[in-house]
Chains A and B, each alone.
Chain A
């Protein structure tokens, strides 16, 4: 689940950790009631600052995605299915944005991108 954490990426480590959890929940890998590793264990495993893990978990907690219970551990909350869909869309949107940045760097216009996208989706279906 946390395999893709990359310290050299410009995305802050805590966001990467939070994204990994969001992704796993959206994909159904983590279900309501499942436990997340403790801050201590995850920090030691990923060799990141414990404060970074805490920051990621706090962010997820404000999003009502997880529940940090003092002394008992951290658990995934019950999430309505719409939210999963919304979450998947959100994640995909993020990737599209990166793609658009790349397109801009290559000097392609929005029309070019839309055209390529249409081509690729029809080709994928046929």
Chain B
């Protein structure tokens, strides 16, 4: 498998007691990769490292096969980037900004798509960027990123703070482009439900480290809530990972597990406890349990 983004042991101190450490990302070419993490988990800093905006102090980064930062320009020309905050020239009008961007990405610029998106997003050419609403500014950034015909889109919380209608428009535009051009999308968000339907890979970042990276379907299939009667205190040989245990009524416990598959029911035959029920979890519940487990592990250290 080839990777659009590959990092090995990426590290960088970000502040007092907060750092990225040993971040290994493998974003398969052609995938839509959801980069999940709570606010402040280091998602934006990781992305800034990928874009060469922040220098990593350890590890290596490859973006579209190019070493970052040594071969940065040859990667950036093929990357569409939407940062979490507006980064455009505020005093320019929409039209002037589009023109500037089209010059900067001259070789790849798709004027037709740019114009089509401008109409679709209902952005008036003569509006100054500082006068755009948050939603309009988000749309303009997306327009610029998509019309430069990128092979890789790096989107940092592209829909954060936008109203549902705008969120929908922006995501639809991304998916339309992906269907058309077959690009890879690396999208960070703390809005898990939003990524659930579009991503085929997920990476979960917590407190500066990757706690899980796997195909979405595997992640979702493997996450279950088990109802178990007369559970023992220790589970030394369980074939799945128990992320959390809660007692409910009487002797019945609820376990949130990862890496489940139906054949594992047999394990309960040999164990002293009894499996009562297997309940599906959605991504958000699974994500929450995964982070809780990761934090407990961290505290236990």
**Chain B, interface SS category:** helix
Within the assembled complex, what's the spacing in Å between the Cα atoms of A96 and B178?
Answer: 38
Of all chain B residues, the one with the shortest Cβ separation from A48 is: B197
Residues of A close to B173: CB separation below 8 A: 44
Size of chain A's interface in residues, with CB distance under 8 A? 21
Task: Say which residue of B172, B277, B282, B284 sits within 8 Å of A44 (CB atoms).
Answer: B172
Which of chain A's residues 39-57 have a Cβ closer than 8 Å to chain B? Answer: 39-41, 43-53
Taking CB atoms, residues of chain A closer than 8 Å to B217 are 12
* Residue B124 is within 8 A (CB to CB) of chain A in the complex: no
Is there an interface contact between B196 and A8, defined as CB atoms closer than 8 Å? yes
How distant is the Cα of A7 from the Cα of B195 in the complex, in angstroms? Answer: 10
Tell me if B197 and A47 are in contact (CB < 8 A): yes
Tally chain B residues at the interface, Cβ within 8 Å: 25
Query: Residue on A with the closest CB to B182?
Result: A50
Q: Is B200 an interface residue (CB 8 A)?
A: yes
What sequence of 0s and 1s flags, for each residue 14-51 of chain A, a beta carbon within 8 Å of any chain B beta carbon?
Answer: 00000000000000000000000001110111111111
A43 to B197, CA, bound (A): 10
A69 at the interface (CB under 8 A from B): no
Q: Does A97 contact B (CB under 8 A)?
A: no
29 pairs, A vs B, C-beta closer than 8 Å:
A7-B196, A7-B197, A7-B282, A8-B193, A8-B283, A8-B284, A10-B220, A10-B221, A10-B280, A13-B197, A39-B179, A40-B175, A40-B180, A41-B176, A43-B175, A43-B176, A43-B178, A44-B173, A45-B172, A48-B197, A48-B198, A49-B32, A49-B175, A49-B178, A49-B197, A49-B198, A51-B32, A51-B200, A52-B200
Residues of B within 8 A of A (CB): 30, 32, 168, 171-173, 175-176, 178-180, 193, 196-200, 217, 220-221, 277, 280, 282-284
Known contacts A39-B179, A44-B175, A49-B32, then 18 further A-B pairs from the complex at CB < 8 Å, ordered by chain A residue:
A7-B197, A7-B282, A7-B283, A8-B193, A9-B280, A10-B221, A13-B197, A40-B176, A43-B176, A47-B171, A47-B197, A47-B198, A48-B197, A48-B198, A49-B175, A50-B178, A53-B179, A105-B277
